[in-house]
Structure 1
Amino acid sequence: MSEEATVSSGGPAVGRLILTLTIFLLSLLALLWLLISVAPTQAASGAGTGTIRGHLVNGTHNNAPVAGQSVTLQMAQDGSARDLTTLKTDSQGAFLFTGLATASTVKYAVYTRYQGAQYVSDLVDLSKQAVQQIELTVYDATSSSADLAVVQATILIHEPDASKGTFTVSEIYFFQNVGKTTYVGSLNASQGRPNALLFSLPQGARNVALDQGFNSVEAIQVAGGFASDAAVPPGETQFSFSFEVPYQSTSYDFAYTFFYPTVQLSVLTPPALQASSGALSSKGLMTANSHPYLLLQNQNFRSGDQVHVRLQGLPLGSSQSQHQGLFLVPTWVWLVGGVLVMLAIIVLSSLLYHLFQRWRESKPRGRQHAQKRPAHTQAEPEAIHTRGKADAGSSEQDRLLHQLLELDKAFEEGRLKKTEYTEERARIKERLRVLLSLEQEKEHRRGAKERQTAGSSRSPSNAKRRSGKS
């Protein structure tokens, strides 16, 4: 009885122990989950001892403070960036961000959007100095581009891709705004070309990729290029983008239009392309991105000017090489070929007309002779033999004319070279001329023989009439 009591009395203790362990394990798991979920948030939110304080000023009005303007703190970490918090400046244009992480992998930036333009501070690293002071300058906006100019425009043409039939172009611009206001364009195209920042593109350009200077902006296609609502504040601003250009032959005319006054234009091309331009001077070879390029350059261009760069030696893929001959044949060759084809048609039509006329003339004459000489059956084998020769000559002429047509067709389709075509055509025409000469000679002989036969047949009849009279 005592043993049973001991066992039964230990049952509740074991149950409480199991329940306690279960609660402990669940609490531990919950704590671990909380730590895992909260730890990244704390690192991202930058909880720490770092501080960024600063002022927002207006450069158009001699750095006057901008009060009541929203400014946002952005954090960059591990290749990504996100906004942390937004606040408004006080009456003195001041702002303050505290409790920021000071890890070396974390960087900060402050930005604001003022009168349609976005202004961003330089990156702030708190790992070496936990408390830092910055000043963010904004400007009044203007829609006039009168103060804009391009200090340097660089066009880099990369090695062409023969398999795709394209070459990639990278362009870099350094704009200079000499005024005290920020140029802010509009993409409203209801009145034609929009009043926005313009960039030139060659005909057929595709796959435009916007890069530096085009963050958080929009772009639309316009005649001769594209327009963007990117802002240009006072001072120097850099823009860069790239695009693809398709080509169909071994040469290409790269056209560039200046939308703004440009101090200097530089065009870099691979040496194998044999680039040339009447408006740019060759400066020899130079190295860019560890590759050699031919430099074409000139200075002082006005808005509206245009430059053409002729590219030679573009490689063709297998599908393009089949059509290469069509693109490389000059226009005058097509004109000469067309004239020759027309002359051939005229000559052939004339020959066919004369042959038809002779056939029509010979047909009634044969019936007349048959009526006049019904009794002279001995002449029939000879006539049949003569017609056989004529038919043989006619068939030979038809064969030569058919060869002439096939020759012209082969030349038009490009299966014969011009020298081969000229020689073969001359040979066939000479053969036709000989056959026509032989035919004319046979006709002449046949007519003379018929006249002689007719004269001899009349002579016995006259003799009979004379003998009857006597």
Structure 2
Amino acid sequence: MKFLILISLGFLFLPYSFVYSDQSELTISGQLINLTSDESPVSGIEITLHISSLQKGTQTHLAITNEKGEFEFTEITFLENSLYGVSVIYQDAIYVSSVDFDQKVPADIKINVYDSSSSDKFISIQNASMVFDNFNEDLQTISVLEVITVLNDSNLAYVPGEGPMELLRFGLPEGAINLNVDTNIFESNYVQVDRGFALIASVLPGSHEITYSYEIPYENSNFKYIKNWRYGAKNLRIIMPSGDILFSTNFPDSILNKEIGGRIYSVQETENVSRGFQAVLEISNLPELNWHKKITQDFDSVKFEYSAPIALSLVLLIVGIWGITNTLKFRKRSNLWFPGSSEKQVLEDMISELEIKHDSGNVSDDYYFSRKNDLLIRQSNINETE
């Protein structure tokens, strides 16, 4: 895992410090300082130098800090159009820094690190925006975009703990789908959990942006959106296109119409949302499917492997209904549809069917009298045996 992190760190420095030079050798040095402990030097820590070039790919060199927190990379070959940076993993948090050059001479590097903690008590949300911007009538979904600024205002680095409760967690409404998360926090990952997602990343002191989008399925014109603000929010803004679709919340602030990017939106702004607050947002007048679209959508949602058995069942059902209708049409079963199938009942059904066909002109007189006579004889024999 550590090897993979070091490989990915090599690509982090691509925007930094182009070095245009003939091949030569010089020394890159610096110091590792712990800002949590009054800028005390940190010894015995491994520092990695990353060199990226088009000709040789990514190279790495290792150095260990001494008792003064100092480290040094010697006999480093400079390649034309190369990129340089250093990284360190300290108490499970990742720190990176570019190597700056002045007249092709590398400046001393100062890497500031912090003690780490798995507690999220010093994590808060400085700014948050929730944008409801797409209401899909055909799919019956609401698209939501959230942009938040996470603030670590301590002198500790947050690192994920061992258990699920020791991860940074952000609330989502029940049933949220198609979650996408983007952030400027390096080497971060996320996992969707019940009623939200957890961010797996170390968060250094300072501000960090997180953007995430998702969709919410709805079933009728009214929808209740419930969201838990685990870390609160100093400033919160809820934005929805102004029009037929309306919303209300349990925040006391007014909802006003504002122009944003040449479009009118309904906007609610509030401040100082407390940690753990449960926000309730009710949306009304959502577009609904008419009966024709709903039937079509239900049919389209049937899985392909089930289509053949369903079609066969429909055919058998239609044939069965036709057969029953035909039986009731030609046979006089007035008491029950299916009173029994004894020989006597069968003969009565056959005589009834013969009479109906004769009355409608479907059989000739000769066939009618001959056939009826045979059936009556058979019926008489049955009556004598009973």
Q: Shorter-chain TM-score: what band?
A: 0.5 to 0.7
Assess if the C-alpha contact under 8 Å between 2:222 and 2:284 holds in 1. Answer: yes
The match for 1:322 is 294
CA distance in 2, matches of 1:291, 1:72: 50
CA distance in 1, matches of 2:135, 2:177: 15
Give aligned pairs, total.
270
Question: CA-to-partner distance for each residue in 1:154-201, whole Å, 9 max, x for gaps?
Answer: 222232334433333222222222322112232524xxxx22111011
Which amino acid counterpart does residue 68 of structure 1 have in structure 2? Answer: G
Assess if the C-alpha contact under 8 Å between 2:100 and 2:106 holds in 1. Answer: no
Measured after TM superposition, the shift of residue 116 of structure 1 is 1.7
> CA distance change for structure 1 residues 217 and 321 in 2, over 3 Å: closer, same or farther?
same
Aligned to 2:274, which of 294, 298, 302? Answer: 302
The match for 1:176 is 151
The match for 2:175 is 204
The match for 2:47 is 71
* Bigger share in strand: 2
Assess if the C-alpha contact under 8 Å between 1:52 and 1:96 holds in 2. Answer: yes
Measured after TM superposition, the shift of residue 96 of structure 1 is 4.7
The match for 2:260 is 287
Assess if the C-alpha contact under 8 Å between 2:53 and 2:79 holds in 1. Answer: no
Q: 3-state DSSP class of the match of 1:153?
A: strand
Question: CA-to-partner distance for each residue in 1:321-351, whole Å, 9 max, x for gaps?
Answer: 538xxxxxxxxxxxxxxxxxxxxxxxxxxxx
CA distance in 1, matches of 2:277, 2:199: 21
- Extract unaligned runs of 5+ from structure 2: 1-17, 296-386
- Extract unaligned runs of 5+ from structure 1: 1-42, 324-470
> CA distance change for structure 1 residues 86 and 270 in 2, over 3 Å: closer, same or farther?
farther
1:98-177 alignment runs, 5 A limit: 98-101=76-79, 103=81, 107-121=83-97, 131-177=106-152
Which amino acid counterpart does residue 257 of structure 2 have in structure 1? Answer: G
CA distance in 1, matches of 2:257, 2:113: 43
Superposition TM-score, scaled by structure 1 size: 0.49
> CA distance change for structure 1 residues 179 and 101 in 2, over 3 Å: closer, same or farther?
same
* Bigger share in helix: 1
Assess if the C-alpha contact under 8 Å between 1:197 and 1:227 holds in 2. Answer: yes
Assess if the C-alpha contact under 8 Å between 1:70 and 1:88 holds in 2. Answer: yes
Bigger radius of gyration among the two: 1
Measured after TM superposition, the shift of residue 100 of structure 1 is 3.9
Superposition TM-score, scaled by structure 2 size: 0.59
Answer 1 or 2: higher relative contact order, Cα 8 Å, separation at least 6. Answer: 2
Question: CA-to-partner distance for each residue in 1:259-291, whole Å, 9 max, x for gaps?
Answer: 013211112222244333231432432426x76
CA distance in 1, matches of 2:142, 2:277: 24
Which amino acid counterpart does residue 33 of structure 2 have in structure 1? Answer: V
Q: 3-state DSSP class of the match of 2:250?
A: coil
> CA distance change for structure 1 residues 202 and 76 in 2, over 3 Å: closer, same or farther?
farther
Q: Please, what is the CA RMSD of the aligned residues?
A: 3.6
